[in-house]
Amino acid sequence: MSKGERNRSKKENRRAETGEISRRQFLQDAGLVIGGVTIGSMALLSACGRTGETTTEPSPTGTTIGGIIYSPDTQRTNRIPPGQHETESWPVLQAGGVLQIDPQDWTFTLSGLVDEEKVLSYSEFMELPRVKVLSDVHCVTTWSRLDNLWEGPGSQTIAGLANIKPEAGFVIVKASGGFTANLTLSDFLQTDVIFAVKHDDQPLSAEHGAPVRLVVPRLYFWKSAKWVTGLEFTDEDRPGFWESVGYHNRGDPWKEERH
């Protein structure tokens, strides 16, 4: 038995003793993984079988299967971007401490280039239509976590609440603690962008951005701001918190746009 096989065996034994299961087993039990391959990858594999060719490039829009939107990057043959390594853990990273936010005190504001500013309470936000998105997470610190199941209102639903003026081309994401992130309107309106209130069918924790965190699967994870409190639509780009201290303005992990 190889060293890798021994390590996997020890890991499986620990899970059996503690009653834990792996995330991949969880997703497989939920019907989101078939034979170790995500359902979102099946269309790609089927296409490869028909043409006899393979590709590492996903389709530009997400695939919806069984009511779940599969982020295009989950359809890549190689899902780990350059300079990244896979992990099943979920490190907690932020500037400063974890913010503890009482949902009853939380509001979500839509402002900027809109016909009328809109403010939602937590209860109003939670009544919005939700979607589920399966995506990968790529942190600029080099770890990647595959097959994350998110639930919450999609970015297109949120944008639909505000009559955005035609000159708007950018979104400034605002969050508690003075944090911000900047996105092009095009990146923001992708079908797999979501305001998550759940992760892997569990309520989002404070450590990971509760009560609401933005998730932008196709960019490095710093763009997926924690503790989101609103959006400002603008006609000019402004660097966000991390961008202003040297991080790349866009952050495409497949191009290694880190700094």
pLDDT band for position 58 (50/70/90)?
Answer: low
Confidence (pLDDT) at 144: 97
pLDDT at residue 138 is higher than 80: yes
Judged against a pLDDT cut of 70, whether residue 16 lies above it is answered with: no
> In the prediction, which pLDDT does 242 show?
72
CATH number of 63-75+102-255: 3.90.420.10
Angstrom distance (rounded) from CA 62 to CA 73: 9
90: confidence class by pLDDT, cuts 50, 70, 90: confident
pLDDT level of residue 182 (50, 70, 90 thresholds) = very high
CB 147 within 8 A of CB 193: no
Average pLDDT (172-182) is 96
pLDDT at residue 216, rounded to an integer: 98
Domain spans of the chain? Answer: 63-75+102-255
Res. 215: pLDDT tops 70: yes
